Structure 1
Amino acid sequence: IRIEHLNYSRLQQLEIDTLSHIRIEHLKQLGEVYESHSWRITQPFRHVSRWAMWLNGPSPMRLARNLPRAVMGEFRRNGLLGTTRRLPYYLKHHRTYLGLLHNRPPAADQNSFDICPLALRDIRLHPDLTGGGSTINVKVSVVIPTLNAGPEFVWMLRKLRTQLAVREIEIVVVDSGSRDTTVQIARDAGASVIEILPEEFTHSHSRNIGADNATGDYVLFMVQDAYPIGSYWMYGMLRYLLDHADQGLVAASCAEYSRSDSDMMYDSMINTHYRFLGCLDYDRIGEYCGDDHMSLRSRGQLSDVSCLISRECFQQFRYRGNYAEDLDLGIRLIKSGKSVAMLASVKVIHSHNRPAYYYLKRSFVDVIFLVGMFDDFSYPHCESLPGLLAGIESTATTISEWLSELETKRSKQTLSVQLDIWIRHSRRSASPLQKKGSILLGDEQLNTFISDMASRYLGSKDAVSGSVALSEARHFSDSFLARLEHFNKFAADVYGKQDEVLQHELGDVVRKTFASAVGSALAFYWLDHKQIEDPDYVTAQLIHNELAAGV
């Protein structure tokens, strides 16, 4: 069997070499054509021909249909002022936006494998599929911050210990006060354990301590609940770094597969995130190309779920801050002229099932971090806190009624159709200031927060009126529904007819999306009133102290 496998591998390599030679010859011939005199003098005619074909095709009609929808969607999400502030970004990336607007999105039942990628990139197979490779003569130190990692931690350590084709693997665990068997599990697995006090922990500090105590040529930062896929997973990340060193690549993270029990919200967020980063299906190398926040985030993203970097390079930059330290590191690396990678060819299994109230707090902190980190990150301003809170409470009442219907009535429609109908109905509903009722969102902390926020932040729950308050309430409702529409685009391609599980998951997505919208809206309010001389400073700080704690 081994001999047959070797013969097959040789035949494969021979075929690859032959195709590579043919490709080089074709590229050479194309280069000669493009440099010829006849090609240059006929260029204007080709431009005219392309424009004529474009005008006679379906693209102009699609553009006319999609442009108003896109503009209205931006107004719903960001408001008039927020959209106006984003104009420089829209103009800078106008080619990308026009390309998206005049292309028809794939139908829900269309085979996604029929859609060609926007750019041709090499597909790199997982090394377990190609038989691995020769052992790389380096030592890798895996640094893992831990706190009550649980019984599954031993499986992760065992998988790391059995990685192949890397000369030596060291595991450094930085524990911040575990009360379970985490420390003993780590020591039994041969890991070096550094124990710090809980109050000493920050995401940056614990990882920096681990790197300081590492002795490897490379440091691989991981989290305690990520499980590597394959026996050559570490080799695959390391091999990619070495193969692309000539492009200035110094650090790489890999994408993740969600666990089998992952919920819709997490799956949708991961899908959106990897599409934004360009690593949903392909490996992506990011380099510096501008200071706008979209370029820096999409090009400089690294992930602490798994982040491989040479120890020498890391010690020059190190982690800093206590939030999004991985993104901060990646941005500093690309600004210094280096490159970072997000890999789709190798992955880990990792996900979280968080309660809805967590999404509220996380969204609040995310917005504040992004506005603080990026000068051009604009946001919609809150014109009326009473109007915002009334809009939140009214929307919560509407959601509570629909969630009750979901539990008692089984729909025969697909998940995306049912959600689309509800979104359309909600947009046509009465003024969001007029609806009051029971708030039963399926998350006790979220229920309590929404029910009590008006009396807590305003001192009363009196009825709210006025055009400014109504506009603010409507803006929140539109923002929430726009988020649901975004999720529904993902759901239409993934989920079919409903069953009891999907129906429960749909309700879960709606409540978590709502919670996330609430967190963002309250963050916008805090950002507008965070200065101590602001008359609403005390209220803003009350909101901040409650929502920023413990995230």
Structure 2
Amino acid sequence: MVRPLVSVIVPTLNAGMMIDALLTRLEHQYRAPDEIIVVDSSSDDNTVAEVQRHPEVELLTIDRKDFNHGGTRDYALRKSIGDFVLFLTQDALPKDEHYIDRLLAPFDDDRVALVYGRQLARRDARAAERLVRSYTYGSASFVVTRIDIPRLGIKAFRATDVCAAYRRTAYLAVGGFENDVLTNEDMFIAARFLDANWKIVYEASAEVIHSHNFTFRQQYSRNYIQGVEIEKHRDILDNAPLTGEGLSMVVYTVKHLLRQGLIPEIGRFIIDCGFRYVGNRKGKIDARRAAKRNA
């Protein structure tokens, strides 16, 4: 039996402080990738020089203005050779040398189209951010199919290209990522996979270290863009509401912060959630207005 080929794709922009460690970790995986592609958005730091220290890595360069989360990843995937194509962000570091083989294991089921891994917070993550990661990416693996959508709602479409793997044939069968999507390309293709009766797997044993300490302004902007895109794609998401899942996350985080006696962190987290909510809400409203103008 011929061993399937594995490609890893990493989009970068000014990743000079972290890309060497990531590429080194990938090159030392127990199941080494057959191909690593870095697609760089014309970085103006030392990213290219750091990538060139790894002669087996293929470097693709695009204009910064041409980057978007769906089209850029689709471009790189179609240039890759892998039967299974893995995506990582530049700031997601596999925890150990077994990340790839653990992420690939669920593909033994030939109906699995997408597998995504677990995100562990960095050491410098705020307490609330650490809890949000643990709530969103728990220790138990699970499989999602089309019949789970009524039960799970928006959670059925959860996936993340921070650390994900795709079956090439399934990806192409549903048309791949959209070429002009600002964010959540992983969620939207997950919805199409489920609609086409493919399976999605969360593999908790495949771990990466990844988290953010966003400012309130950054949370607003991030959630505004998500609101725009989710509103534009509400039909393929079965109009599943976000509010219930968001409230559960808030309750979980506040409860654990209380147990730790981190009262000031609770206040900051509540304000942070307010910026998330307002940004998401404004994005949805603006998307609806734009749709009406273009109707």
User: How far off is 1:305 after superposition?
Assistant: 0.8
Partner of 1:283: 141
Residue pairs, 1:18-97, within 5 angstroms: none
Kindly tell me: are residues 484 and 251 of structure 1, through their superposed partners in 2, closer, same or farther at Cα, counting changes over 3 Å? closer
Distance 1:520 1:152 in 2: 30
Kindly tell me: are residues 368 and 206 of structure 1, through their superposed partners in 2, closer, same or farther at Cα, counting changes over 3 Å? closer
Partner of 1:194: 60
Partner of 1:261: 124
Partner of 1:366: 226
User: How far off is 1:229 after superposition?
Assistant: 1.4
Partner of 2:239: 377
Q: Is the 8 A contact 1:368 1:527 kept in 2?
A: yes
User: How far off is 1:290 after superposition?
Assistant: 6.9
Identical positions, percent:
22
Deviations 1:239-275 (A, max 9, x none): 2222x33xx112211011011111244334334434x
Partner of 1:252: 115
- 2:206 matches 1:346: yes
Deviations 1:487-537 (A, max 9, x none): 354333355454xxx45534432331222233244346546755349xxxx
Secondary structure at 1:493's aligned position in 2?
A: helix
Q: Is the 8 A contact 1:268 1:487 kept in 2?
A: no
Distance 1:515 1:370 in 2: 17
Partner of 2:169: 312
Distance 2:88 2:63 in 1: 20
Higher RCO (C-alpha under 8 Å, 6+ residues apart): 2
Partner of 2:46: 181
Q: Which amino acid aligns with 2:239?
A: F
Partner of 1:144: 10
User: How far off is 1:226 after superposition?
Assistant: 0.5
Aligned pairs, number? 283
Residue pairs, 1:157-172, within 5 angstroms: 157-166=23-32, 168-172=33-37
More helix by share: 1
Q: Is the 8 A contact 2:145 2:194 kept in 1?
A: yes
Q: Computing the radius of gyration over CA atoms, which structure comes out larger, 1 or 2?
A: 1
Deviations 1:106-152 (A, max 9, x none): xxxxxxxxxxxxxxxxxxxxxxxxxxxxxx93331101110001322
Residue pairs, 1:106-145, within 5 angstroms: 137-145=3-11
Scaled by the length of structure 2, what TM-score is found? 0.84
- 2:87 matches 1:221: yes
Q: Is the 8 A contact 1:333 1:339 kept in 2?
A: yes
Distance 1:139 1:524 in 2: 40
User: What RMSD in Å do the two structures reach over aligned CA positions?
Assistant: 2.8
Scaled by the length of structure 1, what TM-score is found? 0.47
Residue pairs, 1:309-458, within 5 angstroms: 309-316=166-173, 317-320=175-178, 321-322=180-181, 323-375=183-235, 377=239
Kindly tell me: are residues 155 and 283 of structure 1, through their superposed partners in 2, closer, same or farther at Cα, counting changes over 3 Å? same
Distance 2:256 2:94 in 1: 27
Secondary structure at 2:29's aligned position in 1?
A: coil
User: How far off is 1:335 after superposition?
Assistant: 1.1
Kindly tell me: are residues 198 and 164 of structure 1, through their superposed partners in 2, closer, same or farther at Cα, counting changes over 3 Å? same
Secondary structure at 1:314's aligned position in 2?
A: helix
Distance 1:507 1:159 in 2: 38
- 2:60 matches 1:300: no
Q: Is the 8 A contact 2:227 2:281 kept in 1?
A: no
Partner of 1:511: 271
Structure 2: stretches of 5+ with no match in the other structure: none
Q: Which amino acid aligns with 2:36?
A: I
Structure 1: stretches of 5+ with no match in the other structure: 1-135, 275-279, 380-478, 534-551
Q: Which amino acid aligns with 1:311?
A: R
Secondary structure at 2:116's aligned position in 1?
A: strand
Kindly tell me: are residues 195 and 520 of structure 1, through their superposed partners in 2, closer, same or farther at Cα, counting changes over 3 Å? closer
Q: Is the 8 A contact 1:288 1:296 kept in 2?
A: no
Q: Is the 8 A contact 1:141 1:169 kept in 2?
A: yes
Q: Is the 8 A contact 1:287 1:300 kept in 2?
A: no
Q: Which amino acid aligns with 2:42?
A: G
Q: Is the 8 A contact 2:114 2:167 kept in 1?
A: yes
